[in-house]
Structure 1
Amino acid sequence: MAKNPAVVIDIGSGYTKMGFAGNIEPQFVIPTCVANSTKKAGGVHISQTQTMGIADADFYIGDEAYARKDSMGYLLSYPVSKGRIEHWDDMERYLQQAIFRNLRCIPEEHNFLMTEPPFNTPENRELMAEMMFETFNVNGLHIAVQAVLALYAQWVNDVRIDQNQAGASPDLTGLVVDSGDGQSHVIPVADGYVISSCIQEIPLGGRHVTQFVHDMLCDRNEPVPPEQRMEAARQIKEKHAYLCRDVVEEYQKFDQDPRKFKTLSGVAQKTKEAWNIQIGYERFLAPEIFFHPEIFVDSVHTPLPQVVDNCITQCPIDYRRRLYGNVVLSGGSTTFMHFKERLQHDLQTVVDSRMKQAEMASGHPSQPIEVCVHGGKQRKQQRYAAWLGGSLFAQEPQFLSVCKTKREYEEVGPSCMRGSPVLLG
């Protein structure tokens, strides 16, 4: 087996996180985007506008791809939609550049841990195995569910805090609230196995928050050039947005305290004129779509705390209390300031209300349920929870036992990846 550290790659709709096992942060976080050349001829294309004499390539990935979104010579492609790989040829190009140019590693010398979303099909697992073993000739491959990895990362963090737990077997029972760029999932996990029938999917994610800020800037006629408006909205979302307990109260705070208003400045790309905008109510209104979606989005009517409660009440009764006691946040859209506290408060309110109704109906007092929502000790750990779990697990000795080797692939074929073994036996 490979002596080198395993490579961990977490492919998401918005960003792909990649790095080597044992690190607490991914070495590279690259937008999951490919710009393909529209020119028919293969090879390298020489252009008049190239910088530093570097020839134009057949394709670019990540930020370099975004930089060519308005170019007539390139077409932008997003290989991943709603967490699932849709365009495998583009994904292959993307990984080719990511592995060889960014990570600078030789795939034959490493084991690889790839993540997968809930509801991933066995056919997709086979296609991933085919690409990794045949195109990249990797030494070994394991495909793990993102939610289970996020739980594993949280358990390791808890063990580090509580030294009494050292040597204990991982507690892989919990509920993962995974909110990325395109959508959010509420995923119950019981002893390392995803309870697929109870997974809840919400078509809300980071890009909807960005779109909301963008629309508010448009409504106010803020002097941001149209081509920079979406980027300005993204910056406002990432740097200034937060959640509050009471929206009406927060409006009053803004009206009483002008310091709550922030400013964002920039320079127009075409005219080179400076622009300056004021950031106000959108700071707390934009992330509110997760807790009051009916106000902002026509297609979604159930708030996130209610979705979480519905999910847990559908799970086997023996696991419900443990799921309420171990709600783990994962994904960039859960890193808004006070998101953890707001979800815990609202979910506890939903649970208490239901328990009170049951008590009144039965006439007997019920045992209270304590809700506990966990996030990373740092926002980065929460943002990259699935990748971090993969990084921690891939350095464990047990990782080798679940890794499918090149030899197994050659003997059995892609179907060797159809099974999804639990993280740790």
Structure 2
Amino acid sequence: MKRKLSSEKTRLFLYFFFIAFLGSILLSLPQAYKNGISVNYIDALFTSVSAICVTGLSTLSMDVFSRTGLIFILILIEAGGLGILTYISFLMTVSSKKISVVNGNLIKDFYIDDIDFNPKSILKKVVLFTLLIQVIGFILLIPGLYKTGDQHFIFNSIFLSISAFCNAGFSPSPDSLSGFSDNWYVLSIIMCLIILGGIGFVVFTNIAQKIKFARKGQNFYLSLHVKIVLVSTAVLIVSGFVFTFISFYKTSLWDLPLSKRILTALFESVTLRTAGFETISQSSFTSSASLFHLVLMFIGGSPGSIAGGVKTTTAFITLLYLLDGNEQRTTVSFGNRRIPSAIINKSITIVSRSVLILLISTISLSYVENQLISNGTISLIDIIYESVSALATVGLSRGLTPQLSYLGKLILIITMYIGRTGIYAMSIKSGFTGPDNEDLIYPEESLLIG
């Protein structure tokens, strides 16, 4: 029985591969660097994949890039940020084909209404919404950066607005956002952009509909999806803030002024949700805090958003089933609604496969970078942190990225690529197709487990 990868997944992989390859060529040009000297191709490829996968990890310091190089990175971030949307838009524009059922379902993840009527209109609305938020973020950032004495405040405001909304984590400054570590105005805008980019377009649509009906004096209930996203997002941000703030105790971070401690803990909680900016080094946190941060990174943002990770609803449903489900009852309930077994199975599958990919990446990276571990330059938690950050497209690092060997960089490139395309691909119906496997039923046989 022959099996083949579905054409939708193949095109999705090829789309990201093509854009990443094109970006690596652009970032190999001498004009992309201040000294006019191009870098090794592996570093250009790493940066390109990191940008298209909106990760933020980089083997190069950002101060080596010229204005042209930063513009290349910004274009890649925008293309990768919209991700599936740009992929579908490209297919629809170039091929002029009718949208497939699978691609229609993908658009529905971004904008749930009118999917059967005008998908091109839906894509247009989402793109316009994205550009609107980015423009607003750019305008609000201008006075904040200007007051800091930034001579390139216009360009940097554009860069940070796009990077923050796309949850990319790239900053034109080599020290990320450390220069704004006590700047409530700038960091508040960045946090808002991160949350808006990671919460999902369908949430805004549903909330807008509720407001519209409320003005007419009519009732309109938020969907279960929106309720779970809002609850999950709030719980993760609050718990991340509390745990991070408590972890400062008995460390040098506790000596910071109270307002800065609050801001640092709050920003860390938000940026861990696949954004990747940092105001203080990740190595400054305790091991227990770093372990908790791994969980936040792994979960990531929400479905239909620009963020990465396994997504909030996926983690929520998996946890709900682990706590409330059993082998006799294949569904669970929340908010007076029953969640179908198919959704539960898909959630568990995504989490399980993501853990497997993470395990393979961590073991491979540990083997390749064994010398750094042996001489005490890095620890195992640094390896795990790097792998989770790459898979969940976060971009935070405990200092390992610049020290990676050629093979280490290649492993993270693959991990970032899988993290951006693989989790989306898992959401698509059955990755394999075959002419006769629909009616093929094998005999059952029991075995002992547990």
Q: TM-score, normalised by structure 2?
A: 0.32
Higher strand share: 1
Higher share of residues assigned helix: 2
Structure-1-length-normalised TM-score: 0.34
Q: Which has the larger radius of gyration?
A: 1
